[in-house]
Structures are given as C-alpha cells and as structure tokens.
Structure 1
Amino acid sequence: MKNRLIRLVVSLTAVLGLAAHLSAASAPASYPDRPVSIVIGFGPGSGTDILARLLAEQLRIELGQPFVVENKPGASAQIAASAVSKAAPDGYTLLLTSNSSHSVNPYIFKSLPYDPIGDFTPLGGIAYFPFILAVNASLPVNTAEELVQYAHAHKGKLNYAYGTPAVQIPAEALNRLLDLQATGIPYKSSPEAMNDVVGGRADFLVVDLASARPHLQSGRLRALAATTAQRSSLAPELPTIEETLGISDFDLAAWTGLFGPANLPEDIAQRLSDALLRILAKPELRDQLLTAGAEPTPSGRQDFAVLVERQLKIWGDKVHAAGIEPQ
C-alpha cells in the first residue's frame, strides 16, 4: 500500500510538472520579458526609420517592454537582413524592412547572405510608400499617355533620372515595355535625381510620393501616374500605370513589414502579429503614417507571407523586363 502511494505521488508530481512546463512554454503572456530590438537597414531619418520609431513606441505600450530601433544601414539593407536571419528565433531580434531586401535584392545581386523567404518568419504588413511617375513641369505632357506620345515623337532624346535600384526598375521597365528609347541617368540618391528633373537636366523619373510632394505642391514637378496596383489614398486623383497605360501587374512600391528569424515559436509570432494589427487600427497612428507619406496596409501573418512571395515574383518580372543584370 505504501509503495503504491509513493508511486502515485511521484506520477502526479511528474504529470503536474510536465503540465506546468508546457503551460509556461506555450503561454504568450511570458513574452516579452526584456527589451526587443527592431533592426532596420536604413539610416536615421529615412522613411523606414520614422516608421520603425512610431511602431516601437506603440509596441512598448502594447506589450510592456521597450522596443529599441537599431539602424544597420548599408548594401541595400543586406547587412540588417543578414543579421536578423542569423539571430536566435526567440522574438527579441526583429526586422522591419521593405521591398529593397526582400523583393529587389534577390534580382540585382548575384548572391545574398540570406534567403528572403526561407530565413524569416513574416509577422505582418505595415504600410506602402507609393511610387509615382513624374516629369519636369515644363515638359508639355499632362498624362502618362501623353508622355509616351511625346517620347515616340522625340525618339532617343529623353532621359530619366534614378537614385536607387528600387526606382530604376519601374522606370526602365516602362522605358522598354513602351519603347520610349529614353536614357537612364544614375545618381547617388533619389533627392539628387529629383533635383535634376526639377531643374530640367532630366525629363522624368519614378520617385516615392512622400519625397516628391514639396516639388509637386510648388508646381515644379508634375505627377502622371502611380506605380501601385490600386490608387493611393495619399493621391486618389492619380491613376495607376495599369489604368492609364494598360500594363498588367504593375504593382511596384516600397512596401514595409515586420519579420522575425525563421522558426520563430508560433505563440510569439502570433502575439507580435496580433499586437501589430491592434496598433495599426489606431486612428492616431494611421494619421501619423499618412502625414509621413506612408499608406497603412495592415495585414496578418498569412496574408503578409502571400504578399512577400507575390511581390518577389512581380519585381523579378519587372527586373527581367528592364533588362537589369545582377551584379
């Protein structure tokens, strides 16, 4: 009798210990219990940096621990993406990134230190920074169709400016798909490229709407179309490339989203995703994003994973159309 009682106590203790262990392991309330790093691949003051800092403060409020933005700029966000891909999958090192690291880099570099799909856990979409096709205001065109007609009437005489691969790709894709025969002129940055279009030293460019807005408002730059699949709430009067020129699947913009390393535990991934959706539903944050030139595009884990894979294919198709070779 005594032996049976001892065995029963031991068995119950083991069962209760196992249950407590499983409960602790699966309880999302235990995460986070220390500061979390949000790594970004761009410098302070960039659109992604502003976005990351807005979200970091809201995540702190939601989850009760500091979320610290770490800037690791360089190599078109490769440094930041690589660092997070190699981090422990414990939820304490996250990546807030854009199309640069996950849609563009795989096609413009011969090799990458990370796999944009296999090395990450998608947590949620955040916002788009819409791109627009714009011209020098003195050019006698008011629509994208008129730009095509003007280019055909002045074969080989137009040029376009670009400061990064992300805006070179849509510009050169349009150049080739529409046989504009324009010459691409590279610049060190998009602001320099835009300044030369404004100054009349280049004719047109693709640029993010947020950066272009002051020149659009001053009348020195004219917007012709958006390069996104749908019209942007930031400029609802602007037609899309697909609407105005009939080019299907022309959905090129600077999307942004949050990732963790691959193999992030399910409960932690879901807790972060749910918090992100709650944050992006706040009217005050939506207003802050719109003021910063970002269009909120909140999405859950599964929808965001689909978007990442779809955007990888779309950008790949347009890189091919643009004839850009990996370096």
Structure 2
Amino acid sequence: MFALLKRYRHVAATAPLMLAMIATASAQAPYPNRNITLVLPFAAGSGTDTTTRIISKELGTALGVGIVIENKPGANGSLAASQVARSAPDGYTLMVSTNTPHSANPYLMKNMTYDPVKDFTPVARTGDLPFMLVIHPDIPANSVADLIALAKKEPGKYSYASGSSAAIVSGATFASLAGIDLLHVPYKSSPPALTDLIAGRVSMMFIDVPTGLPHVNAKALKALAVTTKQRSALLPHLPTMNDTVKGFDITSWQGYFGPAGMPKDIVTRLNAEIRKVVERPDIKSALAERGMEAFSGTPEEFDAFVKEQLKVWEKLIAGAGIEKQ
C-alpha cells in the first residue's frame, strides 16, 4: 500500500513537468502543425470567397493542415481586418484582403479600427479581380453611352448598388466623370446587392467578374463594360469604361496578409507555397474561368504594392468627390 501511494505521489509530482514538456514540444514543432484560420472580409459567394476557396484547398494540402474559412463581412471589410490585426502573429490566423480594406477604407471611413500597413504582414499577392458594370436587363441600354443618355434624360431615376469599396468608388467615379445623377444604395456585401439588382430593385452595379459573370451568362443581367483601362483577357468582347468615360481605370486586387510581426521563416514558407499554387496551370485556369487573373510575387513586392495602392485609391476617392462616413 505504501509503495502504491509513493508511486502515485511521484506521478502527480511529475505530471505538470510532463505537460510543460509536451506543450514546449508542440510549440517547437515545424510550422504549421495545426489548422490555419483564414478570415475573409466578404460573404460566402462573393468573388473573394469563391477564388480563395480554390487556392486555400490546395494550400492546405501543400502545408499538410486544414484551412478553416471564416467569412466576416461588414463595415467594408473592417471587421475582418480588425480581427486579424489583433490576432497572434504565429501564422495560424491569416486574412485574404483586397483593395477595399487595405486601399480604400482609410479614405472612406472616419473611424478606422486598424492601420492597413502597420498592423499587417504582407504574405503574397494572388492576383486581380476585374470589375464590370452590369445592369438590369429591362433597362433599354446596350452600351455605357446608352446608359449615360438615359441617366441624363431622367436625373435621379437610376440607382447603383454597392457591396464593396471598389463598387462604391466605381459608381461614384462613373457618376462624376459622366456628369450624371445616380442614387447610391449600399449593401453589406455583394451577394445581397446582386439579389436586389436581379430583382429590379436597383438599376446597376459594379461587380467583380467571378460573382457577376454567372448571372450575365444566364441572361439575368446585362454586362456593359469592364472597369480596367485595358480590355480584360478574360472578357475580350467587353469594352472598357474608359472607351466612353475617359479617365476611368479601377482594378480590384487580392492577397494574403497576417498580423504585424510574423516571423520571417513563416512568411517565407507561406509565400513559397501560395506562389506554387497560384502559378499552377490548372489553378490559373480554374481561377480564370471565374474571372480572376492569377499571379503572385515576393512579400517585399506585395508590401510595396500595398503602399502604392493607398496613393492610387486616395486619388480615386478624392476625384469622385466621396466624403468620409
């Protein structure tokens, strides 16, 4: 009996040490050794969501762990950005962001809850998602020029929905450069805005190609132009907004970020694996079918790009006459 009691006391005394050793071993295990949470600033079904799921599935396989997608729409992506900015910089909470949270929000919102540069570690850019102008099929316009003529004939009659900063800025830029009066109807994310557009509750919308193209192909919407200055290789038949509205040039981009202070070795590993996925011909093709032009680069190149885009979007927003809300 005394021997059993002595053995029990020995096990009890060494248990905390054993647990500490296990915890230390887990912490020192090669990255990654558990699931990674990927926070998205837009709802399920958005272009960012659709394309990210294709990339993240292959990324999880390459890393040997699960990728858990957490959609956190709201406040132009600020809810998602704030969550990731305040997460531990250990590589297990990442964000796929766009020009909405990281380029436009500082010039659209009075009360920012994060800094798009200081609070994040750029990991890898994954490509561009061109936007296009779509209208309800009942509107008697087959070109941007037709639409402008209608809007000038009946000022205030036509409205544009928005589910992202790119859509907000595109709509305001269109109205400003074309000299027309359009009613802005904001939404939390693109899918509900698209639902109301298809139902005819709003007249038009600037929408990312991955989200809008299926509805255009189904004849539920009519596409008039792409927002990029040059025609998109993915939609070569569509003219550009700039063909009719000179000076119109808006591009939406996408990429992976982590919180500020991430270890360089983790950033290097993630960047390498993301680039391998994005550069695969089958992945490029799958993303192209959904309207995304996929490409990548180094973390340093992405960092420089993000800083440059802040200047681009500051100019766009000022030119459109949009005031901070």
TM-score in terms of structure 2 length: 0.79
**Alignment match, 1:260:** 258
Q: Find the aligned partners of 2:182 and 2:53 in 1 and give their Cα distance.
A: 39
Cα deviation code 1:95-119 (max 9, x no counterpart): 1122221123212221222100111
Q: Distance in 1 between matches of 2:182 and 2:73?
A: 32
**What are the within-5 Å matches in structure 2 for residues 1-327 of structure 1?**
30-152=30-152, 154=153, 156=155, 158-166=157-165, 167-186=167-186, 190-191=190-191, 193-194=193-194, 197-198=197-198, 202-247=202-247, 250-253=249-252, 255-327=253-325
Query: Secondary structure at 1:325's aligned position in 2?
Result: coil
The CA distance in 2 between the partners of 1:200 and 1:39, in whole Å, is 32
- How many positions carry a matched residue from both structures? 296
Aligned-pair CA distance for 1:227: 0.9
Q: Whole-Å Cα distance in 1 between the matches of residues 36 and 215 of structure 2?
A: 38
User: Deviation at 1:149?
Assistant: 4.2
Counterparts of 2:92 and 2:280, CA distance in 1 = 24
Counterpart residue type for residue 235 of structure 1: L
Gaps of 5+ in 2: 1-28
CA contact (8 A) 2:161 2:197 kept: no
Classify the secondary structure of the residue corresponding to 1:299.
coil
Deviations 1:43-71 (A, max 9, x none): 44443333333333222222233333233
Residues 294-322 of structure 1 deviation map (CA, whole Å, 9 limit, x = unaligned) = 33232332332233223322222222233
CA distance in 2, matches of 1:107, 1:220: 34
Match of 1:245, SS state, is coil
Residues in 2 aligned to 1:140 and 1:213: alpha-carbon distance in whole angstroms: 20
Gaps of at least 5 residues in structure 1 are 1-28
8 Å CA contact retained: 1:89, 1:260: yes
Q: Which SS does the other structure have where 2:296 is aligned?
A: strand
The superposition leaves residues 278-307 of structure 1 with CA deviations (integer Å, 9 ceiling, x where unpaired) of 111112222332333333232332332233
SS at match of 1:123: strand
Q: Give the TM-score of the pair, scaled to structure 1.
A: 0.79
Contact kept, 8 Å, 1:39 with 1:72, in 2: the verdict is: yes
| 1:38–1:149 distance in 2 versus 1, CA, 3 Å | same
Residue 39 of structure 1: how far off its partner (Å): 2.1
* 1:17 corresponds to: none
Q: Tell me the percent identity.
A: 37
Compared with structure 1, are the counterparts of its residues 311 and 229 closer, same or farther at alpha carbon in structure 2 (3 Å cutoff)? Answer: farther
How large is the RMSD of aligned CA atoms in angstroms? Answer: 2.7
Q: Please tell me whether the aligned partners of residues 163 and 193 of structure 2 are also in contact (alpha carbons under 8 angstroms).
A: no
